[in-house]
Amino acid sequence: MEKQSSVVIAEVEDFIKRVHNGDLVITPKANKLFLTIPAGKNVLGLPSKRKYTLADLLGWAMAAYQLHKDFSPPSSIVHERWVDSKLKVTAYEFLDYIERARACGVIKELNITNKLKTCQEQNNQLKERIDKLESECQRLKKLNQVLHETLGKFGRSGNIGDVKNNAEE
Residue 139's pLDDT is: 95
129 vs 7, which has greater pLDDT?
129
- Partner residues linked to 52 by β-bridges: 35
**What's the rounded Cα separation, in Å, for the pair 117 and 111?**
10
Question: How far is it, in rounded angstroms, from Cα 53 to Cα 87?
Answer: 23
Residue 62 neighbours by CB distance under 10 Å: 20
Lowest mean pLDDT across 13-22, 57-66, 71-80, 87-96: 71-80
Rounded to an integer, the average pLDDT of 26-50 is 80
Distance CA(121)–CA(127), nearest Å, equals: 10
If one compares 28 and 6, the residue with the highest pLDDT of the two is 28
Q: What is the pLDDT of residue 1?
A: 39
Contact 53, 32 (CB under 8 A): yes
pLDDT in tens, 73-128: 555 555 556 556 777 888 888 899 999 999 999 998 877 777 788 889 999 999 99
Element counts in the chain: helices (H) and strands (E): 4, 4
DSSP label of 31: G
Distance, CA of 86 to CA of 99 (rounded, Å)? 20
Instruction: Give me the percent of the chain exceeding a pLDDT of 70.
Output: 80
What 76-83 contacts at long range (C-beta under 8 Å, 24+ apart), as own/partner pairs, is none
Distance CA 89, CA 168 (A): 75
Which pLDDT score, from 0 to 100, does residue 3 have?
67
